[in-house]
Amino acid sequence: PLLIIDFGSQVTQLIARRLRELNVYCEIHPFQNVTPAFLADFAPRAVILSGGPASVIDAGSPRPPAEVFELGVPVLGICYGQQVMMQMLGGRVERGDGTAEFGRAYVTPEDGARPDLLTGWFLEGREQVWMSHGDHVAEIAPGFRVLGTSPGAPFAITGDPERNFYAVQFHPEVHHTPNGRTLYENFVKLAGFAGDWTMAAYREEAIRLIREQVGDAQVICGLSGGVDSSVAAVLIHEAIGDQLTCVFVDHGLLRHNEASEVVAMFRDHYNIPLIHADEADLFIGELEGVSDPEVKRKTIGRLFIDVFQRYADQIEGAGFLAQGTLYPDVIESVSFSGGPSVTIKSHHNVGGLPEKMGLKLVEPLRELFKDEVRALGHELGLPASFIGRHPFPGPGLAIRCPGEITRDKLDILRKADAVYLDQIRKHGLYDEIWQAFVALLPVRTVGVMGDGRTYEYACALRAVTSVDGMTADYYPFSHDFLGETATRIINEVRGINRVTYDITSKPPGTIEWE
Ligand code: XMP
């Protein structure tokens, strides 16, 4: 495998992701764990030294064992990794004297023969890269030469092609280094990787690690019916069988048929022990008279934790709580920017619960991005229609029903939502849309149907495109589609006599209505 030695950069996981995209197996290990004995045992075919926040000039700053450079395998140093490499191999690093360089920069090549690492680079003269460093290399190590420079980094790319040692000042793994993938591709070729590693291999490895972590303890998994927790549950079940019990908290705020589908799939199809906590009465009862969005969210969040805990307490010998945490959730929870950010909406999760219940966490998807989780789900045989499902918020339909919630309103909303999604599927638009749903408005309007006057609810259709849910744009349906959908909803759903289409982007709107 390829070894990534992590010095604490926020983007180290992106290196792993780029390598997975190239079908190369890699493991990230924190520098503290990489001892000479570890190296001998791991026998990497190539090593990447990540970036990190430290300064190599400071005493005791992290470094890899010197043996890394004696393995006879290609080594790539990135940012802090570059500096560590230069210093350990006989170069010199100087402290940034206020000349820190952050963000976009352009690298141009040096004259002379270009090593294979740079195949496909500089085809148009210069390459855009993303810099983020304070210190800089002042003198490169013996054997190295300069291969590329930027205005702020005279040693932007350096290398010793004889030994296949390369060091770059910028981050080739981030999106803002558009041609970075080529650099990784060239590097893994130098190391002789065949690029034949797959999600199937990831699954095997994940299963091994889950077994190792859990031993013979019982594991509880909070199943929401969403893609992440479902993939985690199926994977863990494959690893430890009936040591896993899923708890599915059904708050009565789910979509049409959703609860029965989740139960059927997990209990009947996969034979995973599942507790269906049907607590609709409790949730809807407590939400009676509540119309403030934050109070709604907090109420649901609090009840969710209470209910989850009550059911989980019944599982004897539980030692672990499984969660479908993804890598983006991990990054978001580590704030480097300082001050607390403003709460736009309180998202509910089971954070804090593991300690309270004395459980350890199993998070087998912690290193993956959403599309990789989908690929893993596919590998595990989850149905494509399930894997491709739009995201659905924890508080469910409660936040799609502005104002006070009643069972009647929820029923109307569920029916309209089912018609709308049916329309979207029939027109082949489902996969183009990030999320689509109906919001039932707390307004009744006058209409005429047949010969009679009606006085019923108005609803709003919402459909957005997005890559990560952070920003979004409304989906440009054709007028025909909108007209046909409005007619169907009004004809098929009693209780709605007016349909509107929400064309707000995010920002300034949010995707959900509350
Ligand atoms: P907003 O409405 O903030 O939503 O633009 C962004 C994305 O997050 C989802 N969402 C939630 N997901 N718990 C969740 O698990 C929540 O409380 C929650 N609130 C919003 C929303 O559906 C969209 O995909």
Report yes or no on whether pTM surpasses 0.90: no
Average pLDDT, the chain: 92
Is the pLDDT confidence value at 339 over 80? no
| Known binding positions | 224-230
pLDDT score at 336: 33
| Known binding positions for ATP | 224-230
Bond before 273 cis per omega within 30 degrees: no
Quote the strand ranges of 86-198, DSSP E.
92-94, 101-109, 127-133, 136-139, 145-150, 153-160, 165-168
pLDDT score at 335: 34
C-alpha–C-alpha distance, residues 166 and 86, integer Å = 10
pLDDT score at 334: 44
Ligand 1 atom index nearest CA of 348:
17
The four Cα atoms 304, 309, 315, 317 give a dihedral, to 10 degrees, of 140
pLDDT band of 474, cuts 50, 70, 90: very high
Using an 8 Å Cβ cutoff, are 51 and 102 in contact?
A: no
Distance 340 CA to ligand 1 centre (A): 19
pLDDT score at 352: 64
Query: Which residue's alpha carbon is at the smallest distance from atom 10 of ligand 1?
Result: 393
Average pLDDT over residues 413-435: 98
Ligand 1 atom index nearest CA of 347:
17
C-alpha–C-alpha distance, residues 118 and 58, integer Å = 32
Ligand 1 atom index nearest CA of 301:
17
Using an 8 Å Cβ cutoff, are 1 and 32 in contact?
A: no
Nearest 5°: CA angle at 58, between 57 and 60? 120
Ligand 1: residues with CB < 6 A are 345, 347-348, 391, 393-395, 435, 469, 506, 510-512
Using an 8 Å Cβ cutoff, are 39 and 71 in contact?
A: yes
What values do phi and psi take at 156, rounded to 5? -60, -45
Using an 8 Å Cβ cutoff, are 271 and 246 in contact?
A: no
pLDDT tens for residues 123-178?
999 999 998 877 889 999 999 999 999 988 899 999 999 999 999 999 999 988 99
Distance 160 CA to ligand 1 centre (A): 49
Best residue among 305, 345, 390 to mutate for probing ligand 1's pocket (most ligand atoms within 8 Å of CB) is 345
pLDDT score at 340: 34
Average pLDDT over residues 460-469: 92
Share of the chain above pLDDT 90, in %: 79
Best residue among 325, 347, 348 to mutate for probing ligand 1's pocket (most ligand atoms within 8 Å of CB) is 347
Identify the residue whose tokens are 């508080």.
Answer: 395
pLDDT tens for residues 276-294?
999 999 999 999 999 999 9
**Residues marked as catalytic:** 79, 171, 173
pLDDT score at 297: 94
Distance 367 CA to ligand 1 centre (A): 21
Is the pLDDT confidence value at 117 over 50? yes
pLDDT score at 351: 58
CA distances to 125, 158, 176, 330 from 110, in Å:
11, 10, 22, 39
Ligand 1 atom index nearest CA of 399:
19
pLDDT band of 331, cuts 50, 70, 90: low
Bond before 393 cis per omega within 30 degrees: no
Is the pLDDT confidence value at 481 over 70? yes
Distance 512 CA to ligand 1 centre (A): 7
Distance 393 CA to ligand 1 centre (A): 5
Among 68-77, 183-192, 296-305, which is the least confidently predicted range? 296-305
Among 191-195, 220-224, 355-359, which is the least confidently predicted range? 355-359
pLDDT tens for residues 97-113?
666 677 889 999 999 89
Using an 8 Å Cβ cutoff, are 273 and 245 in contact?
A: yes
Residue ranges and CATH numbers for the domains of the chain are 2-190 (3.40.50.880), 199-387 (3.40.50.620), 407-501 (3.30.300.10)
Average pLDDT over residues 355-374: 87
pLDDT score at 158: 97
Average pLDDT over residues 460-472: 90
pLDDT score at 142: 97
pLDDT score at 338: 31
Mind giving me the DSSP string for 320-360?
EEE----HHHHHHHS--S-SPPP-SS-----TTHHHHHT-E
As a whole number of Å, the end-to-end CA separation of the chain is 47
C-alpha–C-alpha distance, residues 383 and 363, integer Å = 22
CA distances to 12, 234, 241, 389 from 237, in Å:
29, 5, 5, 22
pLDDT band of 221, cuts 50, 70, 90: very high
